[in-house]
Amino acid sequence: MSKRALISVWDKTGIVRFSKSLIDRGYEILSTGGTKKLLENNNINVTSVSDLTGFGTMMDGRVKTLHPKVFGGILADRKKESHLNDLAAIDSQVIDLVVVNLYPFASEAVDKKLPIEIAIEFIDIGGPSMLRASAKNHKSVIPICDPQDYDNFISELDKSDGEIPIKTRRKYAVKVLNTTSNYDCVISSYLSNFEDDDVLSSNININVIKNNELRYGENPHQKAAFYISHDQKNSWEQLQGKKLSYNNYTDIESAISIVKDFDDISCSIIKHANPCGFAIGNNNVDAFERAVSSDPVSYFGGIVGFNHKVGAELAKKLVKPFLECIVATDFDSESLEIFKSKKNLRLIKIKDSFRLSKTMIKNALGGYLLQDRDQLDFNINRCDLVTQRKPNKEEIQGLKLGWNLVKYVKSNAIVFSNQYQLLSVGAGQMSRVDSVKNAIRKISETGLSLTGAIMASDAFFPFPDCVEIAAKAGIKSMIQPGGSIKDSEVINIANELDLSMLFTKARHFYH
């Protein structure tokens, strides 16, 4: 008794050769629309699905295969006589192979940014339904959703003398269910873009594919990989160097995110998740050298970011120290030649399409924490001046720079800066006053001056001691969220010391 294959594909790669192979092995073929026409044009005998169902295509192609004669043929359990009797009662027969690939919603609707009224026409209904039905009944029906599986199927068919083993059938079923699940996630994500609802929906689906195997995780004994959504393409490109490790990914994001917060030519240096150097300059070289001066020891082995194209003059300086990675919006051809002398140095080019995800997620206590990204729209003119003294023009620029940087520093976070650069950082301490003391200690080691500099704090000062210690070191202006029960004491000390202080009314904890 011959077997039946239902074939309906959008991507017609290899389908003619595959169909001929099935005919040669005794299969009858059912098909629809463009697939049927292509097969007939290549002299392949095809039965139309509409001949089976007695109904033609309806509603501009929205309804073609949704019929009991089709789904009965796919879902009938061959071991149940009642199923076979039901099938006979509607004058239908079993279907043994379902070959379907889906309307390309991602490439046609998402990538082309189609309006929703047009995009919905690329939502496949019959295809996923037939695939899921055949996956459910995989003991009797084999589903194939990928043209790359055609040759393997024919080989397996011949090797098993037409009786594919259950283990192989289950493999096809799992692939199909992954495909339909991913397909629905892409559509759901796209349609969600048209909603104004809070990002923290009651249910979330995380369906991603492995994009890159990493060298290792946070430590060499930990395995790690980088995953992206099915509807997403890399917005960056590695031009040279060793494979990236887990820590590289997070530090690269920090390095490029910081410089992209500034319109001026900027350079950031990241070490162990914290900025150890940052500066703006007249050119890339100026910005880099000034950023290095923030911490000429810690930048060794760091990740350096630029918001302007890297040229030959800068490249000659960047190949001298040991650096893990250079990330920039672009590199010119001369710089790439120079970097070849450091074959392990990673070069990452950020594309124009680079966008940070709107949400952040991590696991904790056996579940997942999700939050929207800390992308507060900051305008220093909306801050509250809480002291008698006003910051001067240079200090205002320093306050803006410091507040932009402090959100990238691990809490408790203190940043000392002027209008041009990061001067020192106090990061990750259990008490805020220790962060202030550490930042001052670093200044004594670098030789930079805090005279006239500013201090930014990611959260309020719980006591006036931070203000007193910083003022003694030379700080003249401060920016902090405010909100402590001792705000009045902090403000009074600032006034006594002739300091200016701004309250942002928003904090930047980073754990």
Annotated catalytic residues are: 136, 272
Spatial distance between the Cα atoms of 424 and 436, rounded to a whole number of angstroms: 10
From first CA to last CA, the distance across the chain in angstroms is 66
Contact 130, 124 (CB under 8 A): no
Q: In Å, how far are 29, 49, 107 from 35, measured between CA atoms?
A: 11, 11, 20
- Using DSSP bridges, classify how beta strands 27-31 and 3-9 pair: parallel, antiparallel or unpaired: parallel
Lookup: tokens for 359: 């949400």
Contact 145, 175 (CB under 8 A): yes
Q: What is the DSSP letter of 58?
A: B
Q: Is 392 helix (H, G, I), strand (E, B) or coil?
A: coil
Q: Is 284 helix (H, G, I), strand (E, B) or coil?
A: helix
Q: Tell me the DSSP string of 108-176.
A: IIITTT--HHHHGGG--SHHHHHHHHHHHTTTT-EEE--GGGHHHHHHHHHHTTT---HHHHHHHHHHH
Q: Which of 412, 466, 447, 478 is nearest to 294 (CA)?
A: 447
